[in-house]
Chains A and B, each alone.
Chain A
């Protein structure tokens, strides 16, 4: 009897706690979205009213037409897509190779990949700046794609190891008995089995490249080539802070990330813990 009551109170407390956390977690997104459609007057004179008194798309118009934000979106899109494709191809091969052919070194390799996680980005930024300048790749999208591989490949390999480990070796052996060669086994049997994991990893890689800031700040200084993160930051530099436009631009940047993230959230956790510990 008292046990049941305790259980109920406990559950109620959990719901209350989770509700509060959800509100705190989601509030900034809500606020960015709402602020992007409020009039400038509304933004400054009614800071505590939640819903817009006058709904307007002026800020979006300003961001896209006057500030030319679409070209920054295109830059980020191209860079993030190229990074993702290259990183996923390289990492899938490596992760499969590690899981199937280097079982002994698998753990060492996993540890080595975790180690790369501790390199301070600011440490890498200095050599990257100098090397890219030497190779004439400063202010180019290619330069940024190359640099982005530094964080996307180790991460993708690490996550994919977890997914490839779930493929039972028996299936591959059966296929080999049937006369399939290695290439066929990999492409037609293994890949389809880990496809959800690869898609999740690809989306995560894409989001990380889309969201990246430091390297893009250091390696790109022409407005035409800026990624969304750096272009958005440069809006802050203006004399008068136009919060409406900044929130409209933020909306354009954050929405793809949030939507993609919702699709892959289940896979990420599994992949990370699988790849890291077992």
Chain B
């Protein structure tokens, strides 16, 4: 009798969260799957079942492939940049003794920026007429004319990636730093006595200790960057001439631009399927690492 009561109690604790997850995350997945098989329209009330028709139209649209490739480039380049800057910053922060707190506070500022303010502040700094940076470059003679960071199709993609690195590196930095701080110092001391070089200490003590945390961080960031809608949408809207249209932007334009919600659902389902595959591979790797640790 008494154990039964405890059983109910423990379920009662997790039930509200399970309901939220079920209603707001599981249900939408299935309804998206369903709508992706219909001709659902944003405004029209009636729709038909069209089978795999939406998938066929999406998978034969060259713009979808273009958006997909843009997404991959955007994710890989942003991620490499974020990891490089975040990781090196964490290592540097872990080493210095003075001013640590000041650097740390200044460097995490981007993380607190709402996407709309990221967009507006950079659009203003990079503005092609009276923006700070183009004018500095022009006046100092580094650029022959005012650089059009956001409207020239050759510069815009790199500029967006820079902004995304600026935004995402702090999160990597903070997490790597906290992982670095869990490494017992005596291991380094022992290694030093054994005559291990700094590089060896890094490879054989630092890396194994933090690789699981960093691996997980990479998974989360990959997904987050791949799914990111706000930054690109608010800064370029996917332009100029589709140069920055990623899959989420493509899906949004299909759903809220051309109002084809069924087809847009098909795009998002493909997006999720791709992410599931990527995550599966990542988790396999991390799982292997975790086993090695034990």
Indicate if A169 sits at the interface (CB-CB under 8 A).
Answer: no
Whether B17 and A47, one on each chain, are in contact in the complex, defined by CB atoms closer than 8 angstroms, is no
| In contact, B251 and A122 (Cβ under 8 angstroms) | yes
Name the one of B21, B115, B177 contacting A154, with C-beta atoms under 8 angstroms.
Answer: B21
Residues A257 and B14 in contact, CB atoms below 8 Å apart: no
Question: In the assembly, what is the distance between CA of A55 and CA of B220, in Å?
Answer: 43
Q: Say whether chain A's binding surface is mostly helix, strand, loop, or mixed.
A: helix
Q: Report the minimum CB–CB distance from A19 to chain B (whole Å).
A: 8
Main secondary structure of the interface of B (DSSP, over half): helix
**Are the C-beta atoms of B213 and A47 separated by less than 8 Å?**
no
In the complex, what residue of chain B is closest to A12 when comparing beta carbons?
Answer: B96
Q: Which residues of A contact B264 (CB under 8 A)?
A: 126
User: Is there an interface contact between A115 and B279, defined as CB atoms closer than 8 Å?
Assistant: yes
Q: How far apart sit A117 and B28, CA to CA, in the bound complex (Å)?
A: 14
Task: Give A17's nearest chain B residue, CB to CB.
Answer: B92
**Which of B104, B108, B131, B170 has its CB near the most chain A CB atoms (within 10 A)?**
B108
A residues within 8 A CB of B42?
Answer: 129
CB-CB under 8 A for A35 and B116, given A15-B99, A272-B175: no
> Which of A21-29, A56-64, A191-199 contacts its partner?
A21-29
User: Is the Cβ of B122 less than 8 Å from the Cβ of A28?
Assistant: yes
Q: Looking at the complex, which one of A29, A117, A250 makes contact with B223 (CB distance below 8 Å)? A: A117
The distance in angstroms between the C-alpha atoms of A93 and B102, with both chains bound, is 36
Q: Which of B114, B177, B212 contacts A210 (CB 8 A)?
A: B114
Q: How many residues of A contact B (CB 8 A)?
A: 95
Contact (A126, B112) CB under 8 Å given A25-B166, A150-B25: no
Which one of A14, A120, A157 lies within 8 Å of B272 (CB-CB)? A120
Contact of B109 among A17, A127, A243, A258 (CB under 8 A): A258
Q: Report the Cα distance A98→B268, complex, angstroms.
A: 31
> With A101-B10, A243-B124 in contact, is A21–B85 under 8 Å at CB?
yes
Bound complex: CA of A111 vs CA of B219, how far in Å? Answer: 12
Report the minimal beta-carbon distance from B129 to chain A, rounded to whole angstroms. 8
Please determine whether B108 and A265 come into contact, CB atoms closer than 8 angstroms.
Answer: yes
For residue A262, which residue of chain B has the nearest CB?
A: B105
A130:B31 contact, CB within 8 angstroms: yes
For A188, the chain B residues whose CB sits under 8 A away are none
Q: Does A222 contact B (CB under 8 A)?
A: no
- Specify which chain A residues have a CB less than 8 angstroms from the CB of B177 in the assembled complex: 269
**Chain B neighbourhood of A79, CB < 8 A:** none
Chain B residues lying within 8 Å of A116, measured Cβ to Cβ, are 21, 25
Q: Given A15-B99, A247-B120, 17 other A-B contacts at CB below 8 A?
A: A17-B89, A25-B110, A28-B118, A94-B17, A94-B18, A125-B252, A130-B31, A131-B31, A150-B20, A214-B230, A232-B120, A233-B119, A243-B127, A253-B117, A265-B104, A269-B175, A269-B178
A interface residues (Cβ-Cβ under 8 A, vs B): 10-11, 14-15, 17-19, 21-29, 31-32, 35, 43-45, 47-48, 89-91, 93-94, 96-98, 100-102, 111-131, 146-147, 149-150, 153-154, 157, 182, 207, 210-211, 213-214, 218, 228-230, 232-233, 236, 243, 246-247, 250, 253-254, 257-258, 260-262, 265, 268-270, 272-273, 276-277
